[in-house]
DNA sequence: CCTCCCGAAATGAACGTTCATTCTTTTACC
DNA sequence: GGTAAAAGAATGAACGTTCATTTCGGGAGG
């Protein structure tokens, strides 16, 4: 994960505590305790709490994209590629609930809004998912809606069911996940 | 709204500041200043900050349900009733961005999770939307999925596009709203 | 009509706590 | 024994909340 043991322990502790208690419930003293280091030690590895949190986020973002790209059916039809991404997304999230909760916390916070804004206005940022949707739009395979709306239709509900599963409002199994991802496809397909 | 001028001013100030800056960015001193009262005065009307925030939430919740129920086509087919609710939801949210942002903040916080949990496990809580979905499920009009999943598919994307609109990532007009609500219908309909 | 007084309402400085961050001291290794 | 790493007490800022004090409005007494 990271270069040294202690650095890794601090990242892990931050991830866990923020996921469980939110940013408010994650004072540096507690992070230090959980990581098995002294409070001051954190500042040998991270400039500030903000820097620490952003680093945790980028670490998770990388892991997540790596998961999506594994076994990605490159040349397959749009629908199949979408089903792959959706399925991996949900399975990854419910398999790593702490990471999911952290990302959710991050997303709904000043950090997340800033990150979104940057992503959105930095037009030459082309990830796989954007590529896929652009292609599908061009080929008339999906509804002619703005990209952010398609993203919302496609992935909003998937994140919702992940949260519901983690909070034990529903119990997802492979079959239910597939049916939900297909429902999302129904939402965007023309 | 409330019984007295000052009480109302405090609620309004809390709503505005929390919507704009989040819970962290809304210290009582700032709320007091914006409401035009002294810090101590707030505690004549509210027991604590938590009590204040919960009161703001319940106030908004009421207003929101009132909006949905206005012109609700009681006897109409399921699809039509759903389109009504979806359309009103989106139009209400983008017409009251501060209220929307507050509710979003609330939802993604310990307050919101507690509220959700209570709603979910209090089974005899029957609102219009739950009624509608239960009826549709029974009649086989929508996909046979758990209620929370249907909720996510139906309303998750709508809240997403409201946020995107308020953050100026997209520009919603009546026609685009309708198409998005219909896309959500496609997601849940059998 | 003026004055005094009373209780409720409002004030804002002060308090205690919590937090991120800093800094001096101690440890551990070469 | 010297140097980099780690420790944890110290610091100061920010916060929610409290409370001694002031302000306000109006009713009673002269």
Note the residue count of chain B. 190
Does residue A34 lie in a domain region? yes
My answer on whether A96 and A167 are in the same domain is yes
Task: Using alpha carbons, list the distances in angstroms from residue B96 to A33, B102, B104.
Answer: 43, 10, 12
Q: What is the mean pLDDT of residues B99-110?
A: 90
Q: Do B91 and B129 sit in the same domain of this protein?
A: yes
Among the ranges given (A109-123, A165-179, B163-177), the one the predictor scored with the smallest mean pLDDT: A109-123
CA atoms within 13 Å, Cβ hemisphere of A97: 9
A51 within domain boundaries: no
Residue B112 lies in a domain: yes
Give pLDDT tens digits for B125-183. Answer: 678 999 999 999 999 999 999 999 999 999 999 999 999 999 999 999 999 999 999 99
CA distance to partner chain A, nearest, from residue B143 (Å): 8
Task: Assess whether B42 and B93 both reside in one domain.
Answer: no
Number of domains comprising chain A: 2
Same domain, A40 and A104: no
Print the domain residue range for A145.
58-188
Q: Does residue B153 approach strand D to less than 7 Å at its CB?
A: no
- Tracing tokens 């399925």 back to the chain, one arrives at A87
The per-residue pLDDT for B124 is 65
Instruction: Examine residue B54 and state whether it is found in any structural domain, yes or no.
Output: no
State whether B152 and A146 contact (CB < 8 Å). no
Looking at the fold, whether B149 and B106 belong to one and the same domain comes out as: yes
Nearest CA in chain A to B161: A149
**Domain shared by A41 and A120, yes or no:** no
**Residue A152, domain CATH:** 1.10.357.10
Answer yes or no: is A21 within a domain: yes
Lowest mean pLDDT among A55-69, B85-99, B102-116: B102-116
Contact B22, A114 (CB under 8 A): no
Q: Please tell me the least confidently modeled range out of A64-68, A109-113, B73-77, B99-103.
A: A109-113
Q: Does residue B150 sit in the same domain as residue B68? A: yes
Nearest nt (C1') from B47 Cα: D17
Given a cut of 70, whether residue A2 has pLDDT beyond it is no
Q: What's residue A114's pLDDT? A: 81
Average pLDDT over residues A150-171: 96
Please check the confidence at residue B3 and state whether its pLDDT lies above 80. Answer: no
Average pLDDT over residues A75-86: 96
- Tens digit of pLDDT for each residue in B12-63? 999 999 999 999 899 999 999 999 999 999 999 999 999 999 999 999 999 9
Q: Based on the fold, state whether residues B179 and B141 are members of the same structural domain.
A: yes
Q: The CATH number of the domain where B32 resides is what?
A: 1.10.10.60
For nucleotide C12, the protein residue with its alpha carbon nearest to C1' is B38
Pairwise CA distance, residues B98 & B183, whole Å: 26
Tokens 């026609």 found at = B175
Among the residue ranges A40-54, A125-139, B90-104, the one predicted with the least confidence is A125-139
Identify whether residues B15 and B99 lie together within a single domain: no
Distance CA B155, CA B108 (A): 16
Examine the domain organization and report whether A138 and A107 are in the same domain. yes
Assess whether A138 and A178 both reside in one domain: yes
More confident residue, A7 or B4: A7
Q: Which positions 149-178 of B are in contact with A (Cβ < 8 Å)?
A: 149, 151-153, 156-157, 159-161, 164, 167, 169-170, 176
The answer to whether position B142 is within a domain reads: yes
DSSP labels, A122-179: -TT---HHHHHHHHHHHTT-B-S--HHHHHHHHHHHHHHHHHHHHTTSS---HHHHHH
Chain A residues close to B109, C-beta within 8 Å: 22
Model pLDDT, residue A177: 98
Phi, psi of B146 (to 5 degrees): -60, 145
Averaged pLDDT for residues A20-28 = 92
* Residues ≥6 apart with Cβ < 8 Å to B2: B8, B11, B59
A4, part of any domain: yes
Angstrom distance (rounded) from CA B34 to CA B16: 9
Q: How far is B150 from chain A (nearest CA, A)?
A: 9
- What is d(CA B180, CA B184) in angstroms, rounded to the nearest whole number? 6
Indicate whether B111 pLDDT > 90: no
State the Cα–Cα distance between residues B86 and B153, nearest whole angstrom: 12
Q: Is B2 in the same domain as B72?
A: no
> How far apart, in Å, do the first and last CA atoms of chain A sit?
42
In a domain, B52, yes or no: no
Q: In the predicted model, is pLDDT for residue A1 greater than 60?
A: no
B36 in A contact zone (CB under 8 Å): no
pLDDT of residue A124: 64
């Amino acid at each position: 994960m990271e270069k040294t043991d202690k650095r890794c322990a601090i990242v892990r502790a931050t991830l866990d505590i923020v996921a469980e208690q939110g940013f408010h419930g994650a004072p540096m003293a507690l992070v230090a305790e959980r990581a098995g280091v002294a409070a001051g030690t954190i500042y040998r590895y991270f400039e500030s709490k903000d820097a620490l949190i952003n680093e945790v986020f980028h670490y998770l973002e990388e892991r997540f994209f790596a998961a999506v790209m594994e076994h990605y059916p490159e040349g397959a039809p749009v629908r199949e590629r979408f089903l792959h991404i959706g399925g991996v997304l949900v399975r990854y999230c419910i398999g790593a609930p702490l990471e999911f909760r952290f990302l959710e916390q991050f997303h709904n916070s000043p950090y997340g809004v800033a990150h979104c804004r940057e992503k959105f206005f930095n037009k030459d940022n082309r990830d796989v998912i954007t590529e896929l949707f652009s292609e599908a739009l061009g080929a008339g395979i999906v509804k002619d809606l703005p990209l952010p709306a398609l993203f919302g239709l496609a992935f909003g509900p998937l994140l919702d069911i992940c949260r519901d599963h983690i909070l034990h409002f529903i119990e997802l199994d492979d079959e239910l996940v597939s049916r939900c991802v297909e429902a999302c496809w129904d939402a965007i397909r023309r």
